[in-house]
Amino acid sequence: MTAEPSLDRDAQQAWQQQPSEALRTSVEDLRLQTRRFERQIAWRNRREYAAAALAAALLARLFWHEPDTFVRIGAALTIAGMIYIVWQLHARGASRQPSVELGMAPGLEFLKRDLARQRDLLSGVWRWYLAPPLPGIAIVFIATVRAHPAGSGRAWPVAVAAAAIAAIFVVVWRLNVRAASGLQARIDELERPTR
């Protein structure tokens, strides 16, 4: 009879040690996923900040050198839209590092919340990213057409530029919708019970 408690203790020890090793691996995988995701977000934001700075510099040059008041107003409004975009990206889309090394359950919740936050940001791309510069862009196009009537040959390039910008906006919107769907799929995967 004395052998049974020893076997029970041995089995209990083996059982207790096995899950902790698997859990440690899972926690490390989760931390790696979180760090990788945060690096992707930080890199995306740096690209967006650089693109906004370049666009603002080109628009500022247009503002200072263009004699047409309406083109200047459009350039200024577009710069204001770019500033709004950068502010929204910084406020709502910045990467967030966990303040401490989290365990499995808190780490999983942190990652799911971060994925959901980025999903929501990308889902609303029309409101905070595409719409803000549109009034300024429209004013620049209208002012250019107004300053150069159809017979001057300038209306055709403006129409092509407007169509190109519209196409770019549609592509950006679709890419962001697809990325938001991908983030939702990752959230769903994390919420699925493991077997």
Residue range 30-83, pLDDT digits in tens = 888 888 989 999 999 999 999 999 999 999 999 999 999 999 999 999 999 999
- Residue 99: phi, psi to the nearest 5? -70, -25
Q: Is residue 3 part of a domain?
A: no
pTM: 0.77
Query: At how many degrees (to 10) do helices 134-147 and 69-93 cross?
Result: 160
Arithmetic mean of pLDDT, 166-193: 94
- Residue 123: phi, psi to the nearest 5? -65, -30
The token pair at 92 is 């709502």
| pLDDT reported for residue 31 | 81
Amino acid at 145: V
Number of compact structural domains in the chain: 1
**Rounded mean pLDDT of the chain?**
84
Q: Is residue 2 part of a domain?
A: no
Q: Is residue 1 part of a domain?
A: no
| pLDDT reported for residue 102 | 61
Task: Give CA–CA dist 142/66, Å, rounded.
Answer: 14
Amino acid at 75: A
Q: Is residue 106 part of a domain?
A: yes
Q: Is residue 153 part of a domain?
A: yes
Task: Give CA–CA dist 79/54, Å, rounded.
Answer: 11
Task: Give CA–CA dist 24/104, Å, rounded.
Answer: 8
User: Could you identify the residue written with the tokens 């409101």?
Assistant: 127
Q: Identify the domain containing residue 171 by its residue range.
A: 8-191
Reported as a pLDDT band with limits 50, 70 and 90, residue 174 is very high
Q: Is residue 60 part of a domain?
A: yes
